[in-house]
Amino acid sequence: MNCEEFRRKKTWFCVISITIIAVLVVMAVYFLLPFFLPGMAEQGLFYAIGFIILFVPPLYFYIDRQLKNCEKEVVNVTRNSEAEKKSLSREMDERDERYRLLVENSPAGIITCDRDGEILMVNPAVVKLLGSPSVEATKAVNVFTFPPLVDSGIAASLKHCAETGEDFRGESIYTSKWGKDVYLRMHFVPLHNFTGEIVGVQGIVEDFTDYKKAQDQMRTYYHAIEHSPVAVLISDDKGEIEYVNPHYTKITGYTPADLIGQNIGVLYQESQMKHVYEDLHNTVTRGKIWKREQENFKKDGELYWEYISISPIFDENGEIFHYVSVKEDITKRREESEKAKYLAYHDTLTGLANRGLFNDRLMISVANAARYQTRLAIMYLDLDGFKEINDSYGHDMGDELLKAVSDELKSIMRKGDTVARMGGDEFTVIIPEFETVSDVEIVADKMLKAIQKPLTSEKLLVTISIGIAFYPEHGSNHEALLVSADKAMYQAKKMGKNNYRVYSEGEEE
């Protein structure tokens, strides 16, 4: 209602209101005055007219004032209504603009079509995904019949959504007109009008190609780790275990349920952690790989050897946020290595030290004796008549005899002494510490008596000849000392065998 219209209505309202009031007053005075004041009945009409003349002007001004107040309210309401309309219109325009910008700049494709498959709206992302030259060209496409959409199955999904009103979520490979395969992720929903009737379909289409490739790559990595022949453990930067692969369980016996959520320290004894933690911590916190061969315990307490390497994993800011622990059970390899090392330094028949190990120990013993100004004795032993026994009874009996002699020699010698087989029927002994020469001679005498008894299944008897040399009297180095002991042994044989002889430089062999 505008102001002019309001004024016209106000004027008529005033006239009608005053007229009605005046008529009512006249009627009231005319009819009621005689009833209450019979003596003034004749003057009733005169008084009524006089009352109207006096009452109407104030009444008019009162009504006019009320109407003016009402007019102000109407004007204010009108102004407020206009302002609200403008504000609402501006807000709707801004909202439409925000929506348009959101749709236009969305990285995801947004598409709307009617029930016949005609495209009503597409954003640039859809145009790019479909490989179309423009929005107009894209809108000219019918999504139910466009061949690439039909081939990819997207058309059928859109049509099903439009016909049944069911939401659709799915993934599909779309081949554009340029031959590029795009992996799409889609979500379509039906559009309804005010009566609830389906009038179209709207959906979001995303290029999922890079994510799919990364997902496939991660799946490949995961399966590679799951089926890895080495044990893999992953923990966070605080050492809390987040993953172990099946081979880790196979090696250690610990299942994921045993370890996930636990600190990596549960895998090691406290003494081990104290021993290696500082070196481990200093290495990995510098961004380097920590490697080590060490003994560890399985879940059931069995001891095994492991080769372990722990590598830090960095985030995009260069900060360590995870650690990867890779380990192998090298118990068998260590055993084979130790066995190979043992065989390299020990005689395969008797288990005694061989010539190489004997020479190494003799060099060390001579060096220690020189450093600490102590004496050292070595013995060179040879079986008397071993060749005849070997020829008469065969090599198996000869080997049995050699092993029996070895056992007797080992039983006589102390823990710190060395007994070695130099080859054939020759043996050597290193005695690094003794009080007097007679102590060594006592040992030699024990050897002679131990070998004289039957040692084989055939009750064969054999004797030995022993040569003895002392450091530093008979040699200043290991080679000279060994030569002196060898010569002393031949001196013992020359004197009738089955005895020992201390090296004497003046005697002939």
- Catalytic residue numbers read 425
E strand or H helix at 189: strand 181-192
Which residues, listed in sequence order, are joined to residue 121 by a DSSP beta bridge?
A: 112
Contact 207, 126 (CB under 8 A): no
- Can you state the angle between helices 395-412 and 386-393, rounded to 10 degrees? 140
Contact 419, 427 (CB under 8 A): yes
Radius of gyration of the chain (CA): 57
Q: Alpha-carbon dihedral of residues 287, 292, 295, 298, nearest 10 degrees?
A: 50
E strand or H helix at 199: strand 198-207
Tokens of 327: 């380990």
Residue 472: asked if its preceding bond is cis (omega within 30°), the reply is: yes
Which residues, listed in sequence order, are joined to residue 113 by a DSSP beta bridge?
A: 119, 201
Between CA 44 and CA 62 the distance in angstroms is 26
Which residues, listed in sequence order, are joined to residue 379 by a DSSP beta bridge?
A: 429, 468
Whole-angstrom distance between the N-terminal and C-terminal Cα of the chain? 148
Between CA 278 and CA 69 the distance in angstroms is 90
Between CA 426 and CA 431 the distance in angstroms is 17
Q: What sign does the CA torsion over 356, 361, 362, 364 have?
A: positive
Between CA 153 and CA 132 the distance in angstroms is 19
Angle at 402 between CA 488 and CA 388, to 5 degrees: 75
Between CA 243 and CA 321 the distance in angstroms is 14
Which residues, listed in sequence order, are joined to residue 430 by a DSSP beta bridge?
A: 378, 418
